Amino acid sequence: MSSIRTSRRRKTAGAGLAALLLAAGAAGCGTEKSPSMSPAAAVAKAAKNTEDITSFRYRMTGKVPEEGRVKAEASMRTKPTVAMSMKITALDQGADGTAEIRLVDKAMYIGGGAAAAKEMDGKSWIKFDMSALGDKGLGGGTPGAGQADQNPATESTFLTGAKDVKKVGTETVEGTETTRYSGVVTLKDLKASLKDKDKATREAREKSIKQYEKLGVDELTMDMWVDGDDHTKQFRMKGEADKGPLDMTITFLDVNKPVSVTAPPAKDTADLAEMMKKALDS
């Protein structure tokens, strides 16, 4: 009788162990990632996911033509209206190389602090009407002005236009495990890749492409770091422009969190349009 009870206990324990192993296996199957995508497919999926991003905070470091080395941190939202706040330093421009830029209500405000106030009757901000500037943009001269109205989430999708996307390996970026991909994309190929995109996506990417055309960049070498949720965590773009090398790295610090940007006080702001009108009337 004792041997029968022992046998039953062994069977019960064996059944329990088998159930435990099956459960563990089922859990493992549930959390196991799908078969590895090709590098091109992984990059395309991350690019697709940018369409769900309406706000983000990011860091920018590198080198841009004319301005030289720059570093910046910014917050941007794309809906319901476009707004951006950036603090940027052009490291090669000395004391005059630091500025704060705000983009809100279709106007760009550039603040230079006390140094700017000395030149503008005590006003530390200058206002540019972006709608009046049209496609001319702000160009160089003011640190970061040329990059301020560009959407880095849109630019992060550029690698989808490359024909030679390859997986480089895995790396940790800001404490996040990522997979790094690399490739070379020409602006010609990038334009060609837009033909099947919807109107909004196509227009957003065409706007970004124009910025590189203005710089005289024909080809970009690009690296893209994609996290476990198939979102771009970081990307780097390198190219040769008419007025020097371009080498810029954008790191996304968070996404889809509230971004609020307000215009500087009117008493501290000089309106460029009004300044020009006064100059013409004098």
For each of the chain's 282 residues, which pLDDT tens digit applies? 444 444 444 443 343 333 322 333 322 333 333 457 899 999 999 999 998 999 999 999 999 888 889 999 999 998 888 999 999 998 887 766 888 999 998 899 998 766 666 677 778 899 988 776 554 444 444 444 455 557 888 899 999 989 899 999 999 999 999 999 999 999 998 888 888 788 888 888 888 888 888 888 999 999 999 999 999 999 999 999 988 899 999 999 999 999 999 999 999 898 887 777 776 776
Instruction: Tell how strand 232-241 and strand 219-227 pair up.
Output: antiparallel
Segments making up each domain of the chain, as ranges:
39-255
Structure tokens given for 75: 């917050």
What class has domain 39-255? mainly beta
The CA-based angle 228-233-235, given to 5 degrees, is: 130
Alpha carbons 154 and 78: distance in angstroms, whole number = 11
Phi, psi at residue 22, to the nearest 5°? Answer: -65, -40
Instruction: Estimate to the nearest angstrom the gap between the alpha carbon of 109 and the chain centroid.
Output: 21
Contact 149, 143 (CB under 8 A): no
- The whole model's pTM is what? 0.77
Contact 244, 65 (CB under 8 A): yes
